[in-house]
């Protein structure tokens, strides 16, 4: 069996092993494949019966050109890179990797928040530049510092990641409120479900944990921002398209939003003209909330398990129905 990994670098830049796949057949790993050059995608799939993709798109035209293909494994939770209808029509199973990074993303959400309220990076740089050594006082601070105790954290979405974030917030003695598109009972009596309007009005910190859909795209725009407290902090470790980035940048520069911590943006890699790059107090990381070694090892093992199940005639983490 020929197995092709179309874009393996993001998952495994060299610190993991593809050995788990080699027991199933001959494995060819490409670090990157063009997202736009369909002929390159087709040529690299070649005669492979199994392909694994992270962000390389697989559409009807590509599937038509590789009739021997029997399995598509997506190396991520989101599987919109694959034309599901076209795969289902050919009875090609498409699998994904669900719930592999819940704790890592929750941890990173708080890493962004703690950087905003404690300003560790700014002060570390200051000390290394000699400012403490030359200070007249035993202490100083370059930017305002903030205590989280008693602050209201508003979670937009209340799935597994948001619930993990809520537990961390509770440990910091924060008040937790949440909105979910379908009512969802909290398992803890310290988390309160509210309307989206109430969340905007009462939250000191708003953290996004919903998928990007037609309804949620640019949900944090001018109208929503106007309903928020002045000085609110926005966190986004979900999808960049949830923010109207121009509106958020404007609100940051005007002080309506105190700070934003984002691990995702609307176009990735980030465009040079993204307005968040020049916005005040905006902390940006390159989509790494999921990227701890332990999390990527877990993702790799689930991908292997999915393929092993397929070869045994079973469905595991299949996202499309059998035709």
Q: Catalytic: 209? A: no
Residues 6+ apart with CB under 8 A from 270: 277, 284, 286
Among the listed residues 121, 224, 142, the one whose alpha carbon sits nearest the alpha carbon of residue 234 = 224
Q: Which entry of 19, 60, 254, 268 is annotated as an active-site residue?
A: 268
The question of whether 239 is a catalytic residue gets the answer: yes
Can you read off the two tokens belonging to residue 222? 């001018």
Q: What is the pLDDT of residues 249-270, one digit of tens each?
A: 999 999 999 999 999 999 999 9
pLDDT of residue 243: 98
Q: Catalytic residue among 44, 239, 245, 296, which? A: 239
Read off the pLDDT band of 125 (50, 70, 90): very high
Separation between Cα atoms, residue 270 and residue 265, nearest integer Å: 7
Note the pLDDT tens digit of each residue in 126-166. Answer: 999 999 999 999 999 999 999 999 999 999 999 999 999 99
The yes-or-no verdict on residue 322 having pLDDT over 90 is no
Residue 224 pLDDT: 98
Mean pLDDT of the chain: 97
Residue 187 has pLDDT above 90, yes or no: no
pLDDT per position as a tens digit, 67-82 = 999 999 999 998 999 9
Nearest to 296 by CA among 108, 124, 100: 100
Catalytic residue, candidates 123, 170, 222, 287: 287
pTM: 0.92
pLDDT score recorded for residue 16: 97
Whether residue 323 has pLDDT greater than 90: no
pLDDT of 225 strictly over 80: yes
């Amino acid at each position: 069996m020929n197995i092709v990994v179309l874009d393996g670098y993001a998952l495994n830049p060299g610190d993991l092993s593809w050995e788990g796949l080699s027991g199933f057949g001959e494995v060819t790993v490409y670090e990157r494949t063009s997202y736009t050059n369909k002929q390159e995608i087709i040529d690299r799939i070649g005669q492979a019966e199994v392909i694994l993709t992270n962000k390389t798109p697989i559409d009807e035209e590509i599937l038509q050109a590789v009739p021997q293909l029997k399995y598509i494994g997506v190396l991520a939770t989101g599987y919109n890179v694959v034309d599901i209808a076209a795969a289902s029509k050919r009875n090609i199973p498409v699998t994904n990797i669900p719930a592999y990074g819940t704790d890592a993303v929750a941890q990173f959400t708080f890493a962004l928040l703690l950087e905003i309220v404690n300003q560790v990076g700014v002060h570390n740089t200051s000390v290394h530049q000699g400012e403490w050594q030359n200070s007249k006082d035993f202490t100083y601070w370059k930017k305002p510092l903030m205590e989280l105790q008693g602050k209201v954290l508003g979670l937009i979405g209340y799935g597994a990641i948001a619930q993990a974030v809520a537990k961390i917030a509770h440990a910091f003695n924060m008040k937790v409120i949440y909105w979910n598109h379908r009512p969802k009972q909290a398992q803890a009596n310290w988390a309160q479900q509210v309307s989206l309007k109430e969340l905007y009005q009462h939250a000191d910190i708003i953290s996004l944990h919903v998928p990007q859909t037609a309804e949620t795209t640019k949900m944090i725009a001018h109208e929503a921002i106007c309903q928020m407290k002045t000085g609110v902090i926005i966190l986004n470790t979900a999808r960049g398209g949830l923010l109207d980035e121009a509106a958020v940048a404007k609100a940051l520069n005007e002080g309506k939003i105190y700070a934003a911590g984002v691990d995702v943006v609307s176009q990735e890699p980030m465009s040079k003209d993204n307005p968040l790059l020049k916005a005040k107090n905006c902390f940006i990381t390159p989509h790494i909330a999921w990227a701890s070694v332990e999390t990527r090892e877990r993702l790799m093992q689930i991908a292997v398990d999915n393929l092993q199940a397929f070869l045994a005639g079973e469905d595991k983490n299949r996202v499309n129905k059998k035709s």
